[in-house]
Amino acid sequence: MNVQKIMVIGAGQMGSGIAQVCAQAGYSVLLNDLKQEFVDRGLSVIKKNLNRQVEKERMTAQQMEEILNHLTPSTELTDAKDVDLIIEAAVENMEIKTKIFGQLDEIAPAHAILASNTSSLPITEIAAATKRPEQVIGMHFMNPVPVMKLVEIIRGLATADEVYQTIEDITKTLKKVPVEVNDFPGFVSNRVLMPMINEAIFTLYEGVATKEAIDEVMKLGMNHPMGPLTLADFIGLDTCLYIMETLHEGFGDDKYRPCPLLRKYVKAGWLGKKTGRGFYEYE
């Protein structure tokens, strides 16, 4: 299948990053969000990222302009009427995602593939909100998208082989590495990562060590680029909690029970870097 026009839904950190790499690969990209100010913010982040590449002489100013010309702002879902692929990067909430997919199913052309950037929710359930479950697939990018190479590609129960192959090929054109994963809660990345972060929070909660010490052990002892508590702050503690709850509910196993300290921080509004405070304080 020939994909030329892509719509990215959600202009936040993930969505703007996905739109950027798609535009860099030469695709015509619609960046969609609920409000114009959200889209503008996403586009300004893309410009900032590309500007940095120009300053480092990794691309020319002309190349940057060409990439920006591939991007079109959008605030209406009806703009999906003539696209070949839609990548949804909205908030990690099943109700919101199924509503979006149900609407897209009505609007998007019959050949269009509907992909979700969900980090933990079942693709099969998202696909069930449409009349084209064979054309629904998971495309889980890593954060920050322009830098990280991995894309987990998740087949739903009904995902067609041709659709999987198309998405794998597109992922390679984005200069990313596709890895096929089956549809289980948390897939591979978050099923392994989040319990580690949760366990790090438990060690803090139980007074085993200070937050600095826990992060230092994992950085120096396990060669992780950043400690798990710092990483949790960067991901967002609300997102960490939501994924742990998805794992806990999906598997019904208490080893995925979210740490009470994580719940307390989220209730306090200490969500990490984005709110200026999580396990650490930020300017």
What is the C-alpha separation between 231 and 246, in angstroms, rounded?
Answer: 19
Active site residue 116: no
Question: Annotated binding residue at 245?
Answer: no
Q: Is 11 annotated as a binding residue?
A: yes
Length of the chain: 283
Are β-strands 136-141 and 150-155 bridged in parallel, bridged antiparallel, or unpaired? antiparallel
281: annotated active-site residue: no
Task: Given the residues 190, 212, 216, 248, select the one marked as catalytic.
Answer: 190
Q: Which token pair is 4?
A: 């030329």
Would you say 206 is a known binding-site residue? no
Name the catalytic one among 88, 116, 152, 198: 152
Is 169 annotated in a binding site? The answer is: no
User: Residue 64 to residues 23, 59, 173: CA-CA distances in angstroms?
Assistant: 10, 7, 18
Which is catalytic among the residues 49, 119, 120, 198? 119
User: Residue 12, annotated ligand binder?
Assistant: yes
E strand intervals along 63-128: 71-74, 85-88, 113-116
Helix axes 36-55, 13-24, angle to 10 degrees: 50
User: Is 117 annotated as a binding-site member?
Assistant: no
Instruction: Classify strands 150-155 and 71-74 as parallel, antiparallel or unpaired.
Output: unpaired
Q: Has 15 been labeled as part of a binding site?
A: yes
Sheet holding 177-181, edge to edge: 71-74, 28-32, 5-9, 85-88, 113-116, 136-141, 150-155, 177-181
Annotation-wise, does 33 bind a ligand? yes
Q: Is 74 annotated as a binding residue?
A: no
Sole residue written with tokens 């015509």: 28
Is 57 annotated as catalytic? no
The catalytic position among 32, 49, 117, 140 is 140
Q: Is 92 marked within a binding site? A: yes
Are 116 and 86 spatial neighbours (Cβ–Cβ below 8 Å)?
no
**How many CB atoms are closer than 10 A to CB 51?**
13
- Binding-site residues from annotation for NAD(+): 10-15, 33, 92, 97, 119, 143, 274
Binding positions are 10-15, 33, 92, 97, 119, 143, 274
Give the residue numbers annotated as catalytic, written as ranges.
119, 140, 152, 190
